[in-house]
Amino acid sequence: MEQLPPADDAALTAELGAALREAGSVPEEFLATARAAFAWRDIEPGVALAELTFDSACDTVPALTRSAGSTRTLSFRSTVVTLEIEVTEAGIVGQLSPPGGGRVSAQTASGTYAQVQVDAVGFFSLGAPPPGPVRLRAHTDEYEVATTWVSLR
């Protein structure tokens, strides 16, 4: 019967080396997620975090949506604002509650890829998100908030 782990350091080193060679490369999706998590370290003080509270891709209960072409609905909540978005092939539409003007930007680990104005009722519209993790940042006169990272495609 083979002893696990090996009692001999040389045998253990050889076994670990074989395991590492078999593992192969890290999938790009994992690397993108790690880069996005690392990018979070530089969030400025005073920016509230809006956490994901609902994702239609994970919920088993059918969700009501405002548009017939919606493929995914997500809701983020912080202490000051709720951010709801619908993601379709055409892009992202969303609303801030409580409503108000301001701007919303969409970011990847490499930086901001889109920024739009928010209208008086809190509505905004962005283009289609790129592959990989994305976070949204909302800035109004009353607050600045960033969502947690999420893959929208």
Residue 56: closest CA among 152, 132, 138? 152
Determine the straight-line distance between the first and last CA of the chain, rounded to whole angstroms. Answer: 49
| Spans of all domains in the chain | 28-151
Determine the topology of domain 28-151 in CATH.
Answer: Immunoglobulin-like (2.60.40)
Residues 25-34: tens digit of each pLDDT: 888 888 877 7
User: How many C-alpha atoms does 124 have within 13 Å on its Cβ side?
Assistant: 28
Q: Does pTM surpass 0.85?
A: no
Handedness of CA 20, 23, 26, 29 (dihedral sign): negative
Residues 65-97: tens digit of each pLDDT: 455 445 899 999 999 899 999 999 899 999 999
Q: Greater confidence, 60 or 125?
A: 125
